[in-house]
Chains A and B, each alone.
Chain A
Amino acid sequence: MASRLKLFVPLFIFAVLALFLFRGLSLDPKEMPSALIGKQVPEFLLPDLVTGENRTREHLLGEVSLINVWATWCPSCLHEHPYLVRLASEGVRIIGLNYKDEDAAALRWLQELGDPYALNIADRQGSLGLDLGVYGAPETYLVDATGVVHYRHAGVVDERVWEQTLRPLYEELQR
């Protein structure tokens, strides 16, 4: 009898797995809340990816911007990139946060795929990412001209996300 029970082990394991998969269906891997909404972007002092100059919170201010967390090790960022280039060409100010990446690879990426970023902050250790509460790349924050975070989108920004979610907020903030 005991040996017969042993044969139920695969079924049991599968049942547990199926429960997780079911739970996974109702979770959106791209949707995450942020503790920072309505608060100021944290202070930081990090080098610019391209020029190496020091960048601080002051450099973000003055205009409504998107802060886009990206890295060359992230395949979804590659997928997202062309749309960012398009947004930038339409006049949206995008600030890059190059997250836990190698500078050389990141520069190569920008050279090859186009550079949609008004400026790019090199967060090699992920310290600013930690303060922002970044879970993974890509992630995009909508920040107003005074540096207050209004929305956070985890995952790829594409036409749908932009038109349905980000753009209305973006236009409202610009007014």
Chain B
Amino acid sequence: MIPEIGHFVLIVALCLAVLLTVVPMWGAWAGNARAMRLAPGLAIGILVFVAISYICLTWAFLQDDFTVKVVAGNSNSLLPVMYKFSAVWGNHEGSLILWILILASWTAAVAVFSRELPLIMLARVLSVMGAIGVGFMSFSLFTSNAFERLLPVAPLDGNDLNPLLQDPGLIIHPPLLYMGYVGFSVAFAFAIAALLGGRLDASWARWSRPWTNVAWAFLTLGIMLGSWWAYYELGWGGWWFWDPVENASFMPWLAGTALVHSLAVTEKRGLFKSWTVLLAIFAFSLSLLGTFLVRSGVLTSVHAFATDPERGLFILIFLAIVVGSSLVLYALRAPSVSSRVRFEWLSRESLLLYNNVVFLVATLTVLFGTLFPLLVDALGQGKVSVGPPYFNAVFVPLMALLAPVMGFGPTSRWKRDSWSRWQVRLAPAAIAAVACGITLPLLNAPYNIWVAIAVLLAAWLLFGLLQDIWLRMRTAKTAWAGLRRLTPSYWGMVLAHLGFAACIVGVVATSQYAIEHDLKMQPGDSRELAGYEFRFMSVAQVPGPNYVADEARFEVWRNGELLTRLAPQKRRYLASGQVMTEAAIDAGVFRDLFVAMGEPVGVEGAWAIRLHYKPMIRWMWFGAIMMAAGGFATVLDRRYRRQRVSDPAAASPGLAHGV
């Protein structure tokens, strides 16, 4: 009964979403305020019904209701309870319900937090989001029903959740990723609403900025968790594979990064309006494209859900309608006259434009690499695959081009700046950065030129920011008063840029300095790696809730002292018989020690063992967390809280601080 309720309320939610799409939009067109005022209530109503539907599905998982097809296919009575929660989205049908729930939450959030928006704008934004909801709910109901029953013959027990997904990291990875993907729908809806209203101005940019930043921050966290999970769960220490599905999440992130910066220019200076709108459409289109690629099976990927051409066709049509109609609208309504506002070549506008170009080129290269096999195939030229060499070859230089210019950004002025001013302001930072780049890599012989460059670039960003903070607070009476003068959006920018610097160092150091050994070891053996002694003590059989594991016990010694104990496992899951490698990792700020078990070798209890020494790999994920924190911090800014700005003149930018 419960699954039927879930199914039914989803249908109710779909009906409400159709109303939300049609009624307020008509109200905005006809000038009917009553119709427009229905929008927030409808948005909240949709959330309520979708949430009930989602709870019903979760209930089916918690109750081990194996008459429900997705439960039978993706859960098991022995599955630990927390994984029953996450098993809801460990499959195509359930993950769509989660997607819809998150979309409904974003829509309701806009309804609740944007009461200060002009009614017509709010009505249009919510209507656009309602239309997206209609698309996804129909997709779920018509092609991927999560509540389908296996009656009259239901299995006694379920097939179990894919063991790869039975992991704490994977509990929160998809929700965060979807928060990001779907969050870009808010920026998209604002862009469409602004195009419809013909008012692309600073207040539009200011309204959509906090939403965009938060969505971007969620997406950053989601991608970071995915990479972290791949690192410890796949058992071979890699953290990014340029797999089509990874690219599907990375492309909206790259476009979103460009959007976040472009919105700054539009808000502060009223420039790049058409461009910003296009980026907003682009970022959300890439989210949809990602969905299409993952679920349609047009590309092969390790991540792919069970794929189905019917579903693929549905998403493609949906994609065509959403993107096609928004681009038509863009072509008809975007301001084609270039703005009267001018800026010089040396100015913050130019630097942000440079940022936009780099990120757009990066997005397009990833898009091209991802779709290339498909394009070649569609042209009848055979099958090819594009691997990490292509992506690394184009992506790494792009990021290396970004960092030097990025150092100038925070301290630069709008409209017009000068070399001589930059020289004065940034000379100390440049000198300190060069000094760091030369000296710090000496700590870890042999000297590595790539690490030196990475440290140089990261230090350039770090010292540039410190210098800028100091210059901004210098005129205040006390240091505290100076710090308080800086706005949350400024701190957000600082955090995000520092996070990027940390990422550069982490990625380069770990790629250059990592050491790995694959050995045959038996209990009693010991091996040295990068100054650490790994002693293989014993192997034990350990029972788990839904698996049995062989566990190797290691002690790690350094300079005659016991540093830590590590216990990697080789698990065999009972329901599926799948064998999973569970690596044991001793994490640290400057290095990770990583032990994973291979296969038993020979008869004397020997195992194939993989030992990794991964310097500074945490910096990459920590950097990503800082970037996300920066994105969240910007929302605290006061200027987003007092929002009633109906007069565009009153919205003229305060040029004091912040990006």
Query: Is B427 interfacial (CB-CB < 8 Å)?
Result: no
Contact across chains for A21 and B292 when beta carbons are under 8 A apart: yes
Query: Is B377 interfacial (CB-CB < 8 Å)?
Result: yes
Contact with A along B326-358 (1 / 0, CB 8 A): 011011101011000000000000000000000
Expressed in whole angstroms, the minimum distance between the Cβ of B310 and any Cβ of chain A is 10
Contact across chains for A82 and B579 when beta carbons are under 8 A apart: yes
Q: Which of B561-587 contact A (CB under 8 A)?
A: 577-579, 581
Contact across chains for A20 and B378 when beta carbons are under 8 A apart: yes
Expressed in whole angstroms, the minimum distance between the Cβ of A15 and any Cβ of chain B is 7
Query: Is B319 interfacial (CB-CB < 8 Å)?
Result: yes
Contact partners of B301 in chain A: CB under 8 A: 75-76
Expressed in whole angstroms, the minimum distance between the Cβ of B648 and any Cβ of chain A is 22
The CB with the most chain A CB atoms within 10 A, among B300, B388, B520, is that of B300
Contact across chains for A7 and B384 when beta carbons are under 8 A apart: no
Expressed in whole angstroms, the minimum distance between the Cβ of B311 and any Cβ of chain A is 10
Contact across chains for A79 and B302 when beta carbons are under 8 A apart: yes
Contact across chains for B327 and A10 when beta carbons are under 8 A apart: yes
Stretch in B52-60, B70-78, B368-376 touching the partner: B368-376
Q: Which bracket fits the contact residues of A?
A: 35 or more
- Given A23-B378, A135-B383, A136-B385: A11 and B324 interface contact (C-beta under 8 Å): yes
Bound-state CA distance A156–B303 (Å) is 13
Count the B residues whose beta carbon is within 8 Å of the partner chain — how many?
Answer: 57
Contact across chains for B610 and A112 when beta carbons are under 8 A apart: yes
Expressed in whole angstroms, the minimum distance between the Cβ of B426 and any Cβ of chain A is 37
Expressed in whole angstroms, the minimum distance between the Cβ of B278 and any Cβ of chain A is 6
Query: Is B598 interfacial (CB-CB < 8 Å)?
Result: yes
Query: Is B599 interfacial (CB-CB < 8 Å)?
Result: yes
Contact partners of A24 in chain B: CB under 8 A: 296, 298, 374, 377-378
Expressed in whole angstroms, the minimum distance between the Cβ of B115 and any Cβ of chain A is 33
Contact with A along B311-323 (1 / 0, CB 8 A): 0110010011001
Q: Which of B192-220 contact A (CB under 8 A)?
A: none
Contact partners of B598 in chain A: CB under 8 A: 108, 111-113
Among A86, A111, A135, the residue within 8 A (CB) of B384 is A135
Query: Is B601 interfacial (CB-CB < 8 Å)?
Result: yes
Stretch in A25-33, A45-53, A60-68, A165-173 touching the partner: A25-33
Contact across chains for A18 and B608 when beta carbons are under 8 A apart: no
Among A7, A20, A29, A112, the residue within 8 A (CB) of B331 is A7
Query: Is A114 interfacial (CB-CB < 8 Å)?
Result: yes
Contact across chains for A111 and B599 when beta carbons are under 8 A apart: yes
Query: Is B387 interfacial (CB-CB < 8 Å)?
Result: yes
Contact partners of B299 in chain A: CB under 8 A: 29
Expressed in whole angstroms, the minimum distance between the Cβ of B140 and any Cβ of chain A is 20
Bound-state CA distance A11–B387 (Å) is 29
The CB with the most chain B CB atoms within 10 A, among A6, A108, A111, is that of A111
Contact partners of B274 in chain A: CB under 8 A: 7
Contact across chains for B599 and A113 when beta carbons are under 8 A apart: yes
Contact across chains for B324 and A20 when beta carbons are under 8 A apart: no
Contact partners of B610 in chain A: CB under 8 A: 108, 112
Among A18, A27, A28, A75, the residue within 8 A (CB) of B316 is A18
Query: Is B241 interfacial (CB-CB < 8 Å)?
Result: yes
Expressed in whole angstroms, the minimum distance between the Cβ of B232 and any Cβ of chain A is 15
Contact partners of B241 in chain A: CB under 8 A: 75
Contact across chains for A29 and B383 when beta carbons are under 8 A apart: yes
Contact partners of A18 in chain B: CB under 8 A: 316, 319-320, 323-324
Among A23, A86, A112, the residue within 8 A (CB) of B608 is A112
Contact with B along A1-40 (1 / 0, CB 8 A): 0011011101100110110111111111110100000000
8 CB-based A-B contacts, threshold 8 Å? A18-B320, A22-B316, A27-B378, A76-B301, A82-B578, A112-B598, A114-B599, A136-B384
Interface residues, chain A, with chain B CB atoms under 8 Å away: 3-4, 6-8, 10-11, 14-15, 17-18, 20-30, 32, 73, 75-76, 78-79, 82, 86, 104, 108, 111-114, 135-136, 154-156
List the 6 closest pairs (A to B, CB-CB), nearest first: A112-B598, A11-B327, A111-B608, A23-B378, A24-B298, A135-B383
